[in-house]
Amino acid sequence: MYDILNVYLENGLRVVMHKIPHIRTMACGVWIKQGSKHENDENNGLSHLVEHLMINIENDSNPRFKNLINEVSSEGIVYNAGTTKETTSYFFTGLSNMLEKCIETLSTIVIDNKTFSNKLIENEKKVVSQETISFYSSFNQIIERTSQALWGNVGVGRIIVGNIDNINHAKVNDLENIIKNSYTPENATLVVVGGIDYQKTLDIIEENFSRWKDTETRNYKEIVDSEPGIYFNTGGGGKSTVISIGFRAPSYMDIERPNIDIISKILGDTSLESRLVQEVRMKKGLAYNIGAFTNFYENRGTLGFTAVCSSESVNEVVKIMMDEFHKVKTKGFTEKEINRVKKVLETRTLLDLDDLTSQLKFLGKCSSNGQLFSLEQEIRNINKINSESLHKTVQEMFAEEKMGLAAIGNCDIDNVISLLKFN
Amino acid sequence: MSDIPCIYEMSMINENDKLKEDIINGKALDILLILLSGSKTIKEISKDLNVPSFSAQLYVQRLIEANLIKITDLKVVEGKLEKTYDLASSDVEVLNYLKNSCKGDDNKNDLELSAQHFASLTRDIIRNINKYSDKPHKIKAYFIKADEETMLGFKKDLDDLFSKYQALENLDASDTYGFISVLAPYKLKEN
């Protein structure tokens, strides 16, 4: 049995707890619905900067946090934070006897941080700028660029690290506004998993989070571009090109999600068995880096297939990728392929079940998306997948009207797009 | 994955000077012609061009950067942002003349001057030179080194010539002639 307790405090804060019997460890975290999709052209990147500042141990404006974070660190608590397109999260993992201190620390992060000194902001701007420059200097950005191509430079198409100029020119007011408008109890979820007692944990939470004032949250309506598009940058004219063929996919909560994960793995998993690795790398030696990825959000998702190759080989690689998509549409997958990948996904999910931080993040993500289910349910969904359901998903997904393209490198983009046809 | 020079630009398309080549290929021109019949969304442009939307967006983006077309309307329909594109300038005289000719006049349907067919009509005109070699025809291309003032004079003369013969149009005549002129800088000295 997998029990999840979901309660709301009077101020609107959602609390999700999952008790795992017979263990002495716990993980807890707060998820705020504030990510790059909530930003605009002028403040794209600032949610991420705020995240850095909120958890900065040099923040003299919040002495209580400074003391608490030193205390929990010295007791071996591991903490981290993250910004995605949809959320900003802060989380702690450690022994269950530190739960109270961790929840208190979380409360000081999200409730007591209202502003920051100029000195702290200027220093963190440099750090975040460096992180951002590293991101934009790597082919790894292709995953985000694919979402940008598919959904536009709005909503979930916005890049998390954002615009370097926005970061460099950020003012204290810009950051305070993000906190004021989105760090509210009704816009947050507190998740606790591990060796916990529900009532005691709830008492601790109430004691620390009831003081969070129920202020108004900014209004947000998600917008994306009407049609999938293209991202292309010559990337300084190097010898390599990274290319990503993307498809608009359904949301995190959609019943098709496990199917899309299976499709991505059979076709483009980095393991040597996947079809694209076989065809592009093993048989033709055209690329070393071949991959596939899925990103699922509250209202939509992205499926992408990537390859890094020499600029001269791009056309050939794209032809092979399109041929494989055609084959899947017409001939489907073999039972052997399906069963192998189902086992891979099941194993990955079971490994996540044994990892408290993974469980915490899973519950944080699905509760932020408005629904709760367990990792065991994930396994049940994976096991239900069969060739018929995959065939249906493939027919829906692999269509020109859902396709977009991201490419960085010195390739002939006109030739590339002429190859991307299903009909 | 490997490192590349940092990409600071936030634009969706950042490439070398592709536009000239693309206009020669006819794709950008096709979009300009499609926009003759009025404002269009990407979905409509891609349908007219019979290419996927990402492909249409590449050409549209190039034309926007060349200031030949612009976004004239933004609206949100069921959470989706629809951009409407139109020609950027009324100085594209030939196109605008045809556009006006096409608008709301069913009697002229036989001229088939719809934007979508304009490129193929241009090719047909050239083919017809051979077919109807006894009829008036002329192809002339000239690349002239000249100062701006001279070319402004030429443009004025061209406008006058157009106006003169437009005024002489006889809608009852059985023959239709095509006349296309392009006057634009070919190669300018870089500052």
Q: What does the pLDDT average to over A6-32? A: 96
Rounded (5°) CA angle A299-A305-A307: 145
């006889």: which residue's tokens? Answer: B170
Sheet holding A403-408, edge to edge: A287-296, A301-310, A240-249, A403-408, A230-233, B13-14
Instruction: Please give the domain boundaries of chain A with CATH numbers for all domains.
Output: 5-209 (3.30.830.10), 230-419 (3.30.830.10)
Contact A137 B76 (CB under 8 A): no
Given a cut of 80, whether residue B186 has pLDDT beyond it is no
CA B49 to chain CA mean position, Å: 14
Q: What is the pLDDT of residue B10?
A: 83
Q: Could you give the CA distance from residue A48 to residue A32 in angstroms, rounded to a whole number? A: 12
Given a cut of 70, whether residue A349 has pLDDT beyond it is yes
Pairwise pLDDT comparison (A65 vs B191), residue with the higher score: A65
**Token output for A10:** 């009077």
Contact B55 A230 (CB under 8 A): yes
Chain B residues touching A400 at Cβ < 8 A: 52
Contact A414 B53 (CB under 8 A): no
Q: What is the pLDDT of residue B101?
A: 47
Q: What does the pLDDT average to over A128-149? A: 96
Given a cut of 70, whether residue A412 has pLDDT beyond it is yes
Chain A residues touching B79 at Cβ < 8 A: 221-224, 299
Given a cut of 70, whether residue B3 has pLDDT beyond it is yes
Q: What is the pLDDT of residue B93?
A: 45
Q: Could you give the CA distance from residue B69 to residue B86 in angstroms, rounded to a whole number? A: 6
Pairwise pLDDT comparison (B114 vs B129), residue with the higher score: B129
Given a cut of 90, whether residue A147 has pLDDT beyond it is yes
Chain A residues touching B1 at Cβ < 8 A: 138-140, 142, 242, 289, 308
Q: What does the pLDDT average to over A119-148? A: 96
Q: Do A295 and A364 contact (CB within 8 A), yes or no?
A: no
Chain A residues touching B14 at Cβ < 8 A: 232-234
Measured CA to CA in angstroms, residue A260 lies from A65, A152, A264, A404 at distances of 42, 22, 6, 17
For A230, nearest residue in chain B (alpha carbons): B54
Contact B12 A153 (CB under 8 A): yes
For A220, nearest residue in chain B (alpha carbons): B79
The verdict on pTM exceeding 0.90 is: no
Q: What does the pLDDT average to over A20-41? A: 97
Measured CA to CA in angstroms, residue A184 lies from A30, A112, B43 at distances of 11, 12, 39
**B residues 44-73 closer than 8 Å to A (CB):** 46, 51-55, 57-58, 61
Given a cut of 90, whether residue B105 has pLDDT beyond it is no
In the 3-class helix/strand/coil scheme, how is A255-283 assigned residue by residue? CCHHHHHHHHHHHHCCCCCCHHHHHHHHH
Q: What does the pLDDT average to over A337-344? A: 95
Ordered alpha helix ranges (H), A3-77:
46-54, 63-74
Q: Greatest CA separation found in chain A?
A: 64
Number of Cβ pairs closer than 8 Å across A and B? 125
Q: What does the pLDDT average to over B36-56? A: 90
Q: What does the pLDDT average to over A315-333? A: 96
Q: Could you give the CA distance from residue A100 to residue A69 in angstroms, rounded to a whole number? A: 13
Is residue A372 very low, low, confident or very high in pLDDT (cuts 50, 70, 90)? Answer: confident
Residues in Cβ contact with A227 at an 8 Å cutoff, skipping those fewer than 6 apart? A401, B42, B43, B46, B53, B54, B57
Q: Which of A144, A150, A226 to mutate to test the interface with B (most CBs of B within 10 A)?
A: A226
Chain A residues touching B80 at Cβ < 8 A: 223-226
Q: What does the pLDDT average to over A8-19? A: 96
Chain A residues touching B58 at Cβ < 8 A: 230, 232, 413-414, 417
Contact A414 B42 (CB under 8 A): no
pLDDT in tens, A240-283: 999 999 999 999 989 999 999 999 999 999 887 899 999 999 99
Q: What is the pLDDT of residue B62?
A: 86
Q: Could you give the CA distance from residue A423 to residue A417 in angstroms, rounded to a whole number? A: 14
Chain A residues touching B77 at Cβ < 8 A: 226
Q: What is the pLDDT of residue B95?
A: 44
Q: Do B31 and B63 contact (CB within 8 A), yes or no?
A: yes
Mean pLDDT of chain B: 76
Is residue B99 very low, low, confident or very high in pLDDT (cuts 50, 70, 90)? Answer: very low
Sheet holding A14-19, edge to edge: A5-8, A14-19, A188-194, A25-32, A88-95, A78-83
Contact A417 B41 (CB under 8 A): no
Ordered alpha helix ranges (H), A79-139:
99-107, 118-136
Q: Do A149 and A246 contact (CB within 8 A), yes or no?
A: yes
C-alpha closest to that of A156 among A52, A266, A44, A37: A37
**Token output for B5:** 């020079």
Q: Could you give the CA distance from residue A15 to residue A191 in angstroms, rounded to a whole number? A: 6
DSSP state for residue A400 in the 8-state scheme: G
Q: Do B100 and B90 contact (CB within 8 A), yes or no?
A: no
